[in-house]
Amino acid sequence: MKTILSVVGARPQFIKHAPMQLQLQKHFRALTLHTGQHYDENMSKVFFEELGIPKPDFTCDIAGATTQGKQTALMLTAIEQVCMDEQPDALVIYGDTNSTLAAALVGAKMSIPLVHIEAGLRSFNRAMPEEVNRIVADEFSKMLFCPTETAIANLHKEGIQHEHIYRCGDVMCDMIQLIAPKVLPLVKEPYYFTTIHRPYNTDDPNRLLTILQALDRLGKKIIFSIHPRTLHRLSAFGIQKEQFERIQFIDPVGYLESVAYQKYADCVITDSGGIQKEAYMLKKQCITLRSETEWVETLADGWNTLVFDDLSKLKIALEQTPGAHNEFLYGDGRAAEEITGIMLKNL
């Protein structure tokens, strides 16, 4: 039996890994390494528990690594060691985090075939750490699983044209299809669901304050799931949460609750990559507080609207009614099965 090592480390990766691990373990010796990028209970452990993901076989200790470089270096060292010990036949990497980057570099240097899930996404904003991580991961991957045609076209434009580029839908769609029908409303009154954590929205105190003030003025309750990074910035900047009358800040929630909050919200307001997609899959209007997105398909027919510099456009965007919706844009909920089948054939 071939050995597959999946490398995960951040919240969205646990969610992508859940349906993959279920399939991988049917056909492979499917090991998991958790890099420790996200380690809080509610950013990590809760997902393993509620999504039934087996405990990671290996973990890295990156506590105390405060810069991107230190973090990536520690992960890289730990992933390399596990690869030397376990001799995996392939490394599975997800999305665009520092964990993805570290594993991609190890795979490339040790000539271990890399399987990139969520390949080909581009925001064309190289100031985003995620964009750099994606480019490196795609460049060195043997098998590239792209959720959309745009992603495939992006790879082609960069000269990545080999025969192992596949469109297989999106593994997050597998999860939404499984979970969304089961979740019940969590809030009685009408509300918008919000998450904000990208550096360009949180690292400048004025920007962060302006966003929160704009949200507070929208005239509806805001359920704001607060990422540890954003919480840290709020306290560092001395911004008191209590000053925002309509915003209810909540700790990060598990996946089921996140889907429930999105499903029953009047609109989702976010700068998250995954949530833009989930909102689309849930047929929910979304406003993205960014100047660009890698999930360009969600912008069609008003399902997702970009608002960045001029936050007064939030109100205008909220007044729009989205048009036609493509139910199968991100696949039919069987992406993980399809990806695993292709891996089995290729390895």
Q: Which is nearer to ligand UDP, 187 or 253 (CB)?
A: 253
Site string for ligand UDP, 129-168 (x = CB under 6 A): ----------------------------------------
Task: Indicate the DSSP class of residue 14.
Answer: H
Distance CA 302, CA 66 (A): 39
Distance CA 241, CA 213 (A): 11
Helix or strand run (H / E) with residue 67: none
Phi/psi of residue 164, nearest 5 degrees: -105, 40
Q: Would you say 26 and 4 are in contact if contact means Cβ atoms under 8 Å apart?
A: no
Q: Rule CB under 6 A: choose which of 23, 258, 285, 293 binds ligand UDP.
A: 258
Distance CA 41, CA 49 (A): 10
Helix or strand run (H / E) with residue 111: none
> Among residues 240, 206, 244, 243, which one has the least CA distance to residue 222?
244
Q: Does 12 bind ligand UDP (CB under 6 A)?
A: yes
> Among residues 211, 212, 213, 205, which one has the least CA distance to residue 238?
205
Site residues (CB under 6 A) for ligand UDP, limited to 100-119: none
Q: Does 94 bind ligand UDP (CB under 6 A)?
A: no
Q: Does 347 bind ligand UDP (CB under 6 A)?
A: no
Q: Would you say 269 and 314 are in contact if contact means Cβ atoms under 8 Å apart?
A: yes
Which window, 21-29, 83-91, 235-243, 271-279, contacts ligand UDP (CB under 6 A)? 271-279
Distance CA 324, CA 231 (A): 37
Q: Rule CB under 6 A: choose which of 113, 120, 169, 274 binds ligand UDP.
A: 274
Q: Rule CB under 6 A: choose which of 37, 72, 201, 225 binds ligand UDP.
A: 225
What are the tokens at 37?
């990028």
Q: Rule CB under 6 A: choose which of 224, 255, 303, 330 binds ligand UDP.
A: 255
Q: Does 293 bind ligand UDP (CB under 6 A)?
A: no
Least Å distance, CB 118 to ligand UDP, is: 10
Question: DSSP strand E in the chain: where?
Answer: 3-8, 29-34, 58-59, 90-94, 114-117, 143-146, 165-167, 191-195, 221-225, 247-250, 267-270, 286-288, 304-306
Annotated active-site residue in 164, 197, 227, 232: 197
> Among residues 47, 55, 41, which one has the least CA distance to residue 6?
55
Least Å distance, CB 346 to ligand UDP, is: 27
Least Å distance, CB 163 to ligand UDP, is: 29
Distance CA 173, CA 337 (A): 12
Least Å distance, CB 176 to ligand UDP, is: 9
Which window, 163-171, 252-260, 287-295, 304-312, contacts ligand UDP (CB under 6 A)? 252-260
Least Å distance, CB 279 to ligand UDP, is: 9
Helix or strand run (H / E) with residue 285: none
Q: Which is nearer to ligand UDP, 9 or 274 (CB)?
A: 274
197 is catalytic: yes
Q: Does 311 bind ligand UDP (CB under 6 A)?
A: no
Where do contacts with ligand UDP occur on this chain (CB under 6 A)?
Answer: 11-12, 15, 195, 225, 252-255, 258, 272-275, 278
Catalytic residues: 197
